[in-house]
Chains A and B, each alone.
Chain A
Amino acid sequence: MTSATRSAGQTGEVVRPNTLRRLLRNPLGLISIIVLGVLLILAIIGPWIAPYSQTHADIAASLAGPSADHLLGTDSPGRDVLSRLLFGTQLTIFSGLLCAAVAIAIGLPSGLLAGYYGGWFDSVAGWAGNMLMSLPGIVVLLAVRAALGPSVWISMIIFGVLLSPGYFRLTRTAVQSVRNELYVDAARVAGLSDGRIIARHIFSVVRAPIIIQTAIVTGVAISIQAGLQFLGLGDPGEASWGAMVNEGFKNIYVAPGLIVPPIVMIGLTIGALVLLANALRDALEDGQKVSRKRRLTDIATGAVTMAMPVVKTGGSAERTAAPARGKRAAATVEAGTEHHLVKVTGLGVGYPQADGSTKHVVDDVSFHVDRGEVLGIVGESGSGKSQTAFSILGLLPDNAEIIAGSIQFDGKYTVEPGDTKVDQARVRPLRGKRIAYIPQEPMSNLDPNFTIGHQLARPLRVVMGMSKAAAKARAIELLGLVGIVDPARTYDLHPHEISGGMAQRVLIAGAISCEPDLIIADEPTTALDVTVQAEVLDLLRGLQKRIGMGIVLVTHNFGVVADLADRVLVMQAGHVVESGDVRQILRDPQNPYTRILLSAMLEGKEPMTMLTEVGRERAGARA
């Protein structure tokens, strides 16, 4: 038991050394850690190495410059600046840490409890936190100073209480986001106690943000106390940086150098804390970036490894043709292709990486769509099917680049051969007028702050130049057209007041509002329940027949393809592996990858039998 627990504990912290290493590799992070380390040592040993006591005054040597006796000179009562600086270091650093400690001691446990259990404690603690946060700190500290005296320790304790909501919110949010994670559920199912769940799964999530917050809080505390001391509200019996700034400010005409040492110390300390917080945040974010990137490549390589080696024969015929064309073929398109609504030729899309390479997500993809035709693009995640569709719309992410090929729409280039970006000036006038888009997730694609009606009517006014009344009438008509029962009422609703199925109908209404020539539908039914999916497919088919538009239907579902598409394009890892008539591809696929995909379909399979070669082998071996 013990050894397993220990090993589990070790592995649980696997992220930490990485973060620490990344932190130390960042020069600013390293410098800030060194500076803070030195300051901490000075704070501990300062009073011992200080040449004089903090109150020792030598009136004869008032406002003396630097000398062997007084390395940094003296102030107006003749006190040694260096000694006072060292005593002040201890006072400042320790009281700043006390402030952070108080804030953590209150904020962390309450945040854990509130986040994990919720309920009345959450409400009460949340309210108290809001109250504390809406208090101007300095004014409260003035009241405390008036009541309880000038001790910096007392004011820093109180200030810690005032800053505790920061920790509370941070912890609570982190815990809440983790509490509903499935791995916490899995731990509960395994029978772990709440305490162990918090220690194992939840505390590790808040650890790093807490350190960042502590660096920031300590900086704020030091800044505030220096400010109070500068106002003369500190303890006159103790040397402090703030009081030294005050002393320097008072004597600024007589001894302008006096103000420099304390200001340098304050700036150095707070600066190092801020830099540490920043470097730590960067280190954490880098870690997340790396993992996200890795996840993407995993999906891609995962798809590659499972595919057959013979796969990449697909569009090779056109591959040789594409790069051969001259860079400036200009706006005249290939002869004989003008009649296609869309023609994509040898398209490549890539993302430049930090190491200077380019990650190809779409490679040498060619196809065309005619008016009134539905082209299905099928593939698994990471196949590049959505990226292909978005490049027709000109709505690729900012960092995406066209690395090869061209796109022409209705006889004109939107991406000329040699372009590295989609030419927005050419695509924008087409969008919403001739090319429309139906997204995957209905809810996240409506703006929650505007009514359904506004989101439908506004493009009609902007793009079609309709009057306000005409746009409204048309929008209500469209809502009726897509099968919404009470269009006039729905017009005034906000997105959160309708269901997902209705939201998808609204988005379809938006897409067809201008009677486009082409619709790009990116997994238009994937987020819907099967029964709703069937209705939406019916709707799309009806509208397509009625308006006679072309559709590029991106999907992973062969059933949806069979329902709508005339022709099919099968993609894998950025390449087209097979294309052709829907019946031909679905009934008699030639490419091995297409066959694997189709054989994975469950419809018509003998239940309880193995679907893959590996599965059959395993079952066979046992028999």
Chain B
Amino acid sequence: MSAAQGAGAAPATTAAAASGAGGIGSAAQSLLTVDRLEVAYPGRGFRAKPARILKGVSIEIGAGRTLGLVGESGSGKTTLGRALLGLAPVTGGRITFDGRDATHASRSERKRLSRDMQVVFQDPYTSLNPAMEVGAILAEPLVVQGIGGTEAKKRIAELLDQVGLPSDSIHRLPREFSGGQRQRVAIARALALRPKLIVCDEPVSALDLSTQARVLDLFLAIQQETGVSYLFISHDLDVVRHISHEVSVLFRGDIVEHGPAEQVTRDPQHPYTKRLLLASPVPDPDRQAMRRRERRELIDAEAAADGTAAEAGPGGAADAADAASAGHGPHGSTTTTAASARPGGSERSDALRG
């Protein structure tokens, strides 16, 4: 909770990150700096230990850049995004946005921050109020900032054009749109105030493959046109590689690897990232067979290394192997009980969002 505590945990987590952070990260001027961020939810029940979701995470995003944040369920990736937006309780560390401290922003500071920091959520079906017309949804962030009348109307028309939706969409309800179109509405809402940073929380993982391609194109085009920065959160290494300049890999509340997108996603150094890469299947039977073999070899090698090292440690090689599957429940399914049983295993949003 205190800075000292955070600093204590820091070296272990940033060791891998520091090596990769080098060149590109410092080339652009930093827009967002997150320093040893900690998030913990109070434990359920009397005298329960708080669940530590993030254990001192540091990231940095330059203007006009994209940081890909990759991890599996329970890694804390969604929580990190929510903490930036003020939707998760920060218990330690510091968030600096555009030169100002945004760690514990009040509601009025949040209102000011919302001009520069916006969000696109994963599920396009629950991120838009089903009872509101698209026009009203897009007007919401404008109204909060005191923009109304013809100015708002003009801006909404611009936004619809920018995300490739017909201009008559304003009088339609979200349910009249497909998943991809809804996600376009959500992107338009995020763009309404011309933000400097958009936190994208798994924005394409609920979409079909071909829809995903079109939405990714849209993200890229918008960045090229407006110079907005993205924090792009995803479980999919391929998606992150495609859209990011740099990538950070999150594993159980710690960043285990950080570096340029190409390097981290094609030639990872940390064993976990390696496993993650080799686990993702490729669309060719022969190359996939090769990848399978490599993965098997890596796991066998790790197990052999663990077998000698872990005898004194808790559990054993076998337990550890199963923990790899047990700890990371299915992505977005309801494994709250099992997941929360181990520290850092209950990523609040992932558990709730389903």
Q: Which A residues are CB-close (under 8 A) to B139?
A: 4, 7-8
How many angstroms from the CA of A189 to the CA of B279 in the assembled complex?
35
Q: Is A583 an interface residue (CB 8 A)?
A: yes
Q: Kindly specify which of A26-34, A259-267, A533-541 makes contact with the partner chain.
A: A533-541
Fill in one digit per residue for A13-49: 1 if any B CB lies within 8 Å of its CB, else 0: 1110000000000000000000000000000000000
Q: Once the chains bind, are A586 and B189 in contact (CB under 8 Å)?
A: no
Q: Once the chains bind, are A559 and B224 in contact (CB under 8 Å)?
A: no
How many angstroms from the CA of A608 to the CA of B292 in the assembled complex?
27
How many angstroms from the CA of A299 to the CA of B335 in the assembled complex?
29
Across the interface, name the chain B residue whose C-beta is closest to A566: B285
Q: Which A residues are CB-close (under 8 A) to B324?
A: 531-532, 535
Fill in one digit per residue for B58-94: 1 if any A CB lies within 8 Å of its CB, else 0: 0000000000000011000000001001110000000
Query: Restricting to A560-618, which residues have a CB under 8 Å from any CB of B?
Result: 560-563, 582-583, 586-587, 596-605, 607-612, 614-615, 618
Across the interface, name the chain B residue whose C-beta is closest to A536: B325
Across the interface, name the chain A residue whose C-beta is closest to B238: A602
Q: Is A477 an interface residue (CB 8 A)?
A: no
Q: Once the chains bind, are A186 and B119 in contact (CB under 8 Å)?
A: yes
Q: Kindly specify which of A88-96, A233-241, A463-471, A500-508 makes contact with the partner chain.
A: A500-508
Q: Once the chains bind, are A191 and B107 in contact (CB under 8 Å)?
A: yes
Q: Once the chains bind, are A605 and B242 in contact (CB under 8 Å)?
A: yes
Q: Is B281 an interface residue (CB 8 A)?
A: yes
Q: Which A residues are CB-close (under 8 A) to B214?
A: 611-612, 614-615
Q: Which 4 A-B pairs have the closest CB atoms?
A: A615-B217, A4-B148, A559-B281, A191-B111
How many angstroms from the CA of A582 to the CA of B328 in the assembled complex?
31
Q: Is A302 an interface residue (CB 8 A)?
A: yes
Q: Is A56 an interface residue (CB 8 A)?
A: no
Report the minimal beta-carbon distance from A381 to chain B, rounded to whole angstroms: 6
Q: Once the chains bind, are A8 and B285 in contact (CB under 8 Å)?
A: no
Q: Once the chains bind, are B281 and A563 in contact (CB under 8 Å)?
A: yes
Residue in B136, B244, B333, B337 whose CB lies within 8 Å of A441: B333
Q: Is A558 an interface residue (CB 8 A)?
A: yes
Q: Once the chains bind, are B284 and A587 in contact (CB under 8 Å)?
A: yes
Q: Which A residues are CB-close (under 8 A) to B135?
A: 7, 11
Residues of B that sit less than 8 Å from A by CB: 72-73, 82, 85-87, 107-108, 110-114, 117-119, 121-123, 126-133, 135-137, 139-149, 152, 164, 171, 173, 175-181, 186, 189, 208-214, 216-218, 220-221, 224-225, 235-239, 241-244, 261-262, 275-276, 278-288, 292, 295-296, 318-319, 321-322, 324-335, 337-339, 352-353
Q: Once the chains bind, are B149 and A3 in contact (CB under 8 Å)?
A: yes
Q: Once the chains bind, are B325 and A535 in contact (CB under 8 Å)?
A: yes
Known contacts A559-B280, A559-B288, A501 near B325 by CB under 8 Å:
yes
How many angstroms from the CA of A90 to the CA of B197 in the assembled complex?
62
Q: Which A residues are CB-close (under 8 A) to B331?
A: 527-529
Known contacts A504-B330, A612-B217, A531 near B72 by CB under 8 Å:
yes
Q: Which A residues are CB-close (under 8 A) to B288?
A: 559, 562-563
Q: Once the chains bind, are A180 and B352 in contact (CB under 8 Å)?
A: yes
List 23 interface pairs A-B (beta carbons < 8 Å), by A numbering: A1-B143, A11-B171, A12-B132, A14-B131, A182-B121, A183-B137, A187-B140, A188-B85, A189-B114, A205-B131, A443-B333, A499-B328, A499-B339, A500-B330, A500-B333, A529-B329, A531-B324, A531-B325, A538-B296, A583-B286, A586-B284, A615-B214, A619-B221
Residue in B107, B119, B217, B279 whose CB lies within 8 Å of A531: B279
Q: Once the chains bind, are B143 and A204 in contact (CB under 8 Å)?
A: no
How many angstroms from the CA of A535 to the CA of B236 in the assembled complex?
17
Q: Once the chains bind, are A500 and B243 in contact (CB under 8 Å)?
A: no
Q: Once the chains bind, are B140 and A8 in contact (CB under 8 Å)?
A: yes
Report the minimal beta-carbon distance from B241 to chain A, rounded to whole angstroms: 6
Q: Once the chains bind, are A182 and B213 in contact (CB under 8 Å)?
A: no
Q: Once the chains bind, are A534 and B239 in contact (CB under 8 Å)?
A: no
Fill in one digit per residue for A295-315: 1 if any B CB lies within 8 Å of its CB, else 0: 100110011001000000000
Q: Once the chains bind, are A12 and B136 in contact (CB under 8 Å)?
A: yes
Residue in A14, A531, A603 whose CB lies within 8 Å of B133: A14
Known contacts A191-B144, A531-B279, A598-B283, A499 near B326 by CB under 8 Å:
yes
Q: Which A residues are CB-close (under 8 A) to B128?
A: 183
Q: Which B residues are CB-close (under 8 A) to A303?
A: 208
Q: Once the chains bind, are A3 and B339 in contact (CB under 8 Å)?
A: no
Report the minimal beta-carbon distance from A289 to chain B, rounded to whole angstroms: 12
How many angstroms from the CA of A56 to the CA of B287 in the assembled complex?
99
Q: Is A546 an interface residue (CB 8 A)?
A: no
Report the minimal beta-carbon distance from B337 to chain A, rounded to whole angstroms: 5
Q: Which A residues are CB-close (under 8 A) to B335?
A: 443, 499-500, 503
Q: Which B residues are CB-close (under 8 A) to A339?
A: none
How many angstroms from the CA of A483 to the CA of B325 in the assembled complex?
10
Across the interface, name the chain A residue whose C-beta is closest to B216: A611
Report the minimal beta-carbon distance from B74 to chain A, rounded to whole angstroms: 8
Report the minimal beta-carbon distance from A321 to chain B, rounded to whole angstroms: 31
Q: Once the chains bind, are A607 and B149 in contact (CB under 8 Å)?
A: no
Across the interface, name the chain A residue whose C-beta is closest to B337: A496
Report the minimal beta-carbon distance from B324 to chain A, rounded to whole angstroms: 6
Q: Which A residues are CB-close (under 8 A) to B131?
A: 12-15, 204-205
Q: Once the chains bind, are B328 and A485 in contact (CB under 8 Å)?
A: no
Fill in one digit per residue for A312-343: 1 if any B CB lies within 8 Å of its CB, else 0: 00000000000000000000000000000000
Q: Once the chains bind, are B326 and A498 in contact (CB under 8 Å)?
A: yes
Across the interface, name the chain A residue whose C-beta is closest to B71: A529
How many angstroms from the CA of A528 to the CA of B280 in the assembled complex?
12
Q: Which B residues are CB-close (under 8 A) to A201?
A: 129
Q: Is A425 an interface residue (CB 8 A)?
A: no
Residue in B149, B177, B284 whose CB lies within 8 Å of A4: B149
Q: Once the chains bind, are B217 and A561 in contact (CB under 8 Å)?
A: no
Q: Is A123 an interface residue (CB 8 A)?
A: no
Q: Once the chains bind, are A614 and B136 in contact (CB under 8 Å)?
A: no
Known contacts A5-B143, A190-B140, A601-B209, A183 near B126 by CB under 8 Å:
yes
Fill in one digit per residue for A181-215: 1 if any B CB lies within 8 Å of its CB, else 0: 11101111111110000001100110000000000
Q: Is A557 an interface residue (CB 8 A)?
A: yes
Q: Once the chains bind, are A298 and B235 in contact (CB under 8 Å)?
A: no
Fill in one digit per residue for A471-509: 1 if any B CB lies within 8 Å of its CB, else 0: 000000000000111000000000011111111110000
Fill in one digit per residue for A434-446: 1 if any B CB lies within 8 Å of its CB, else 0: 0000000111100
How many angstroms from the CA of A619 to the CA of B113 in the assembled complex?
30
Q: Once the chains bind, are A556 and B208 in contact (CB under 8 Å)?
A: yes
Report the minimal beta-carbon distance from B61 to chain A, rounded to whole angstroms: 16
Residue in A2, A180, A499, A529 whose CB lies within 8 Å of B338: A499
How many angstroms from the CA of A333 to the CA of B91 in the assembled complex?
69
Known contacts A4-B143, A443-B335, A556 near B243 by CB under 8 Å:
no
Report the minimal beta-carbon distance from A300 to chain B, rounded to whole angstroms: 10
Q: Once the chains bind, are B285 and A586 in contact (CB under 8 Å)?
A: yes
Report the minimal beta-carbon distance from A543 to chain B, rounded to whole angstroms: 15
Q: Once the chains bind, are B217 and A614 in contact (CB under 8 Å)?
A: yes
Q: Is A424 an interface residue (CB 8 A)?
A: no
Q: Once the chains bind, are B114 and A501 in contact (CB under 8 Å)?
A: no
Q: Once the chains bind, are A527 and B332 in contact (CB under 8 Å)?
A: yes
Report the minimal beta-carbon distance from A75 to chain B, rounded to whole angstroms: 52
Residue in A7, A188, A200, A611 whose CB lies within 8 Å of B217: A611
Q: Once the chains bind, are A497 and B338 in contact (CB under 8 Å)?
A: yes
How many angstroms from the CA of A501 to the CA of B177 in the assembled complex?
33
Report the minimal beta-carbon distance from A453 to chain B, rounded to whole angstroms: 17
Q: Which B residues are CB-close (under 8 A) to A358?
A: none
Further 17 A-B residue pairs, CB within 8 A, beyond A583-B284, A603-B282, A622-B224: A8-B136, A14-B133, A183-B127, A189-B85, A191-B110, A192-B140, A201-B129, A204-B131, A298-B176, A485-B321, A529-B330, A559-B282, A560-B281, A563-B292, A600-B209, A601-B238, A611-B213
Report the minimal beta-carbon distance from A383 to chain B, rounded to whole angstroms: 9
How many angstroms from the CA of A498 to the CA of B336 in the assembled complex?
10
Residue in B146, B217, B285 whose CB lies within 8 Å of A610: B217
Q: Is A359 an interface residue (CB 8 A)?
A: no
Across the interface, name the chain B residue whose C-beta is closest to A535: B325
Q: Once the chains bind, are A615 and B221 in contact (CB under 8 Å)?
A: yes
